[in-house]
Chain A
Amino acid sequence: MTDSTPDLRLVEVRGPSALGGGWRRTWELLSLIAVTDFKKAYFGTALGYLWSIARPLMLFGVLLAVFTQVFRLGSQVPNYPVLLLFNIVLFTFFSEATITATTSIVGQESVVRKTQFPRLLIPLAVVLTSLFNLGFNLVVVFIFILAWGIDPTWTWLLFPLVLVLLFVITTAVSMIVSSLFPRFRDTAIIWSVAATVLFYATPVLYPLEVVQNQSQTLADILQINPLVPLFELARTWVIDPSAPGPVDLAGGFAALLPALAVYVGICVLAAWFFNREAPRIAEQL
């Protein structure tokens, strides 16, 4: 019997972990789950995809009306409507992914409690599903952008870099909130409030130079937010090449360092914290 299966070698069992169980298995599971979630979102309801674009579009409609008709902000900024739509779609990705991820591990309780499931895949699959959404939404947004009369420039090719950076920070935040939630159930409420605060603390509704004209101090505080340079980059690269970039707005590279430090800090914290929590998550459910 031993000869027929020479692969049966005693191997150390290391217990549950964030990843683990082999790369092929991890990758196949991730793709399976993300694709299933995606299908569920798009074919599970009668209107499917329309729902996921309807939300940012409705938000866009309301905000556009407010900021062009009520406040005069819209008229000071070139191409304000497309910028607004673009920003909303990007921010929706961040907030939707992180908020959904918060409860994701507890939501997959039976998987976590009954199998050696690589724990990281659960929040990661949520972020990937939101990324699919973002991809579709961006198609709609770029149609708007072209229809608005903005000419494509070579800097459009740089835009995926923003997406990668946004994806990484979204994943990191998702890892933190999803592993906090099993222990502290009010994480969900706190994070949904925090996401709303971030919506206003990120240049979604306004470009940062508008804030700078009013109060340099406030602008300096906002610049700690690592999402700020990402949104500024996206704006200069896609919508308005003449807009001031993150470096100009901050007044030199050095002023961007706090945001960079926060960005890296969140990623390191996420990796450390999730890795620490992963083996014990099943016990907390």
Chain B
Amino acid sequence: MQNPITVDDHDGAAVAAAAPTAPVVIEVRGIEKTFRVPERRVDTLKERATHPFSRMDYRELRALRDVSFDIHRGEFFGIVGQNGSGKSTLLKILASIYRADAGRIRMAGRLAPFIELGVGFNPELTARENSVINGVLMGLSKREARRRLDAVLDFAELGEFVDLKLKNYSSGMMVRLAFAVMVQADADIMLVDEVLAVGDFGFAQKCMEVFHEKRRTGKTILLVTHDMGTVRSLCDRAMFLRDGELDYIGDPEETAMRYYRANFERAGRYDDWEEQAAVTDINARVVHAWLESEGGERIEQVEQGEPIVLDALIEAKRELLAPLFSIHVSNAQGTVVFGFTRSLEGQRRERLAAGERVRLSGRIQQSLVPGSYSLDCWVRRDRQGGERAFQGLRLLDFDVSGSAAHERHGLVEVQTDVEAASEPGP
């Protein structure tokens, strides 16, 4: 059972957790990266010749601003941020794919990147050829790369397709092969971008085992992910990037909370109940939170389509005026799949005194597709002058498992009676 989280303060200054003592293997100092995004792309020489001053049309996009940090030997380090926060750019700069505009990076040991769900595959070549070329790319000798081919194919479970061109591979097979190549390259530092978001549950499990094993042998792993469950359960430390700036580095729990809060603020802009000026502060804490099956048994995993019973107890840390409790269920990518809001109006209560508790409990008929989910509660209160203050509370994580009988497309499964029937032609 996941322990309920108590969040006492997530407005504190960004303070790093106790610094690890292992030697530094990645040293990043003052990295800057600005992309020049053309407003109107000049793609041909003719356009360039007829509009010689069209350089004016560029918009500057500051992807990374003065980012500095150290990663230590043997760390499992999470990089977290919303889309467009610069985390992929950071990874690409670390992997020598992009060049930073300013700043300095020093690294100890060999590096293997796994970026955009792949390595440097050429679709026209076979799995065998691609594996060897990428092994060499990641620093193996040609002989060593050939020697490890069997291990790669074993891991990817693709032995029988070794001489098939990659263009004939399914995307899942490609990801498996790419990950296997990266793992077998046996680099000192692994840069991994979003491998766990690839549907296949069994494969995600295998990746996890690899990560554990690599960490035991002193390898350093940098993982970019949207799955806060992974960050909190696996990472030694994590960082939260926000609009290209290093917002926080240190405790994974704190990182996850900042990520959730940022997500909420972004969603809040479109949310009518947060239209007015909103500030974040400390409203409440979680006393306990768990899921039960209908039989009353506590669970962390539920079958697709099975109802779940939520039980959460939240304590007001201060007087709460007109409190609202908004439950969000998000998938591994951080997308809020569904949510609902409860108030105490039914009980004719307009305020909660400090120390008073609110129980959120009841049945949820879910139809989520298989995957990992997290459940958060946003507590909102009215402040003086029409302002609202809110706070995100992480309640729990859970998994939905599915059988082949169910749909796996999209975010949820819906009830339909759509049928396919053949009809004679006209």
Across the interface, A113 reaches (CB within 8 A) one of B108, B109, B116, B123, namely: B116
* Contacting residues of chain B (111-130) with chain A, CB-CB under 8 angstroms: 111, 113, 115-116, 118-125, 129
Residues of A with C-beta under 8 A to B105: 12-13
B23 at the A/B interface (Cβ < 8 Å)? yes
B176 at the A/B interface (Cβ < 8 Å)? no
B147 at the A/B interface (Cβ < 8 Å)? no
Stretch of B90-98, B308-316, B352-360 at the chain-chain interface = B90-98
Are A115 and B95 in contact, with the CB atoms below 8 A? yes
Alpha-carbon distance A2/B25, docked complex (angstroms): 11
* Contacting residues of chain A (112-148) with chain B, CB-CB under 8 angstroms: 112-117
Are B136 and A28 in contact, with the CB atoms below 8 A? yes
Are B133 and A29 in contact, with the CB atoms below 8 A? yes
Are B120 and A110 in contact, with the CB atoms below 8 A? yes
Are B108 and A32 in contact, with the CB atoms below 8 A? no
Are A117 and B137 in contact, with the CB atoms below 8 A? yes
* Contacting residues of chain A (135-176) with chain B, CB-CB under 8 angstroms: none
Query: Chain B contact residues (Cβ within 8 angstroms of A): what range?
Result: 35 or more
B188 at the A/B interface (Cβ < 8 Å)? yes
Alpha-carbon distance A11/B46, docked complex (angstroms): 44
**B162 vs chain A, min Cβ distance (A):** 14
Are A115 and B99 in contact, with the CB atoms below 8 A? no
Alpha-carbon distance A8/B109, docked complex (angstroms): 5
B100 at the A/B interface (Cβ < 8 Å)? yes
Residues of A with C-beta under 8 A to B122: 108, 110-111
Among A5, A15, A115, chain B packs the most CB atoms within 10 A around the CB of A115
Q: Tell me the count of chain A residues lying within 8 A, CB to CB, of chain B.
A: 41
Alpha-carbon distance A114/B129, docked complex (angstroms): 17
Alpha-carbon distance A112/B137, docked complex (angstroms): 11
Are A8 and B96 in contact, with the CB atoms below 8 A? no
Residues of A with C-beta under 8 A to B44: 184-186
A72 at the A/B interface (Cβ < 8 Å)? no
**B139 vs chain A, min Cβ distance (A):** 7
**A3 vs chain B, min Cβ distance (A):** 11
Residue of A nearest to B105 (CB): A13
Across the interface, A12 reaches (CB within 8 A) one of B43, B94, B106, B123, namely: B106
Alpha-carbon distance A2/B124, docked complex (angstroms): 42
- B214-226 to A contact mask, C-beta < 8 Å, 1/0: 0000100000000
Are B137 and A115 in contact, with the CB atoms below 8 A? yes
Residues of A with C-beta under 8 A to B120: 108, 110-112, 114-115, 117
Are A282 and B133 in contact, with the CB atoms below 8 A? no
Are B74 and A29 in contact, with the CB atoms below 8 A? no
Alpha-carbon distance A40/B166, docked complex (angstroms): 14
> Knowing A15-B99, A16-B98 touch, does A8 contact B73 (C-beta < 8 A)?
yes
Alpha-carbon distance A115/B130, docked complex (angstroms): 13
Among B24, B45, B96, B107, chain A packs the most CB atoms within 10 A around the CB of B96
A216 at the A/B interface (Cβ < 8 Å)? no
B9 at the A/B interface (Cβ < 8 Å)? no
* Contacting residues of chain A (1-51) with chain B, CB-CB under 8 angstroms: 1-2, 5, 7-16, 21, 24-25, 28-29, 31-33, 36, 40
B141 at the A/B interface (Cβ < 8 Å)? yes
Alpha-carbon distance A115/B91, docked complex (angstroms): 11
**B407 vs chain A, min Cβ distance (A):** 31
- A272-285 to B contact mask, C-beta < 8 Å, 1/0: 00000001101100
Residue of A nearest to B117 (CB): A114
- Residue numbers of A with Cβ under 8 A of B are 1-2, 5, 7-16, 21, 24-25, 28-29, 31-33, 36, 40, 108, 110-117, 184-187, 190, 279-280, 282-283
A selection of 18 A-B contacts at a CB cut-off of 8 Å is A2-B73, A8-B23, A10-B24, A15-B93, A15-B99, A16-B99, A24-B141, A32-B132, A111-B120, A114-B97, A114-B116, A115-B137, A115-B138, A116-B95, A116-B97, A116-B111, A184-B45, A279-B98
Other A-B pairs, 17, CB within 8 Å; known A1-B73, A13-B106, A28-B141: A5-B109, A8-B25, A9-B108, A10-B108, A11-B108, A12-B106, A13-B96, A15-B96, A16-B98, A31-B142, A32-B132, A108-B120, A113-B97, A114-B113, A115-B97, A115-B134, A185-B43
User: Which 6 pairs between the two chains have the least Cβ-Cβ distance?
Assistant: A15-B99, A111-B120, A116-B96, A115-B120, A279-B99, A10-B106
